[in-house]
Amino acid sequence: MQKLFHLDCPREAYQADACVISCFDFRFDLAVRKFLKRRGIAIYDHVKIPGSVKAVVAPDRDSDRDLVLSMVRTSLRLHRPGRLLLFGHNECGAYPGAPVEAIAADVAKAAAYFTNAEPMLTVESFFCDFDGVYSL
């Protein structure tokens, strides 16, 4: 291996403030990060999936739902977050032509799914629009 970049990274294991699920749409990346910081969530496991929680409530394959739950459970096991934050966003490529209400409804369904799967976890739902982040 050839070293290409130097940065000292923390070696200590961490406890996450939250586990976060969002779409990988970069247009909302800064809004999500600033929103989390504003809410005091500094350390988090970020699961980015095209379409966000659509992989849970309307997956292309059933195995997609299992994979997402597995990722959340891995976060719980390794980093013990007490909260799971779910983000949908407007004009998501996984929802061509869908109204905001349909995307928001999927986030709410996913929240119910995770609450049922992991009752000890506090699940919070949000929606990113082009002017900021909304609670659901």
The residues of the shown chain that bind Zn ion, judged by CB under 5 A, are 23, 25, 92
CB of 89 to Zn ion, least distance (A): 5
Nearer to Zn ion, 25 or 106 (CB): 25
Nearer to Zn ion, 47 or 76 (CB): 47
Please give the biggest Cα pair distance in the chain: 49
How many CB atoms sit inside 10 A of residue 26's CB? 8
CB of 51 to Zn ion, least distance (A): 6
Nearer to Zn ion, 19 or 92 (CB): 92
Nearer to Zn ion, 88 or 121 (CB): 88
CB of 133 to Zn ion, least distance (A): 14
CB of 95 to Zn ion, least distance (A): 8
* Alpha-carbon dihedral 3, 6, 11, 14, rounded to 10 degrees: -120
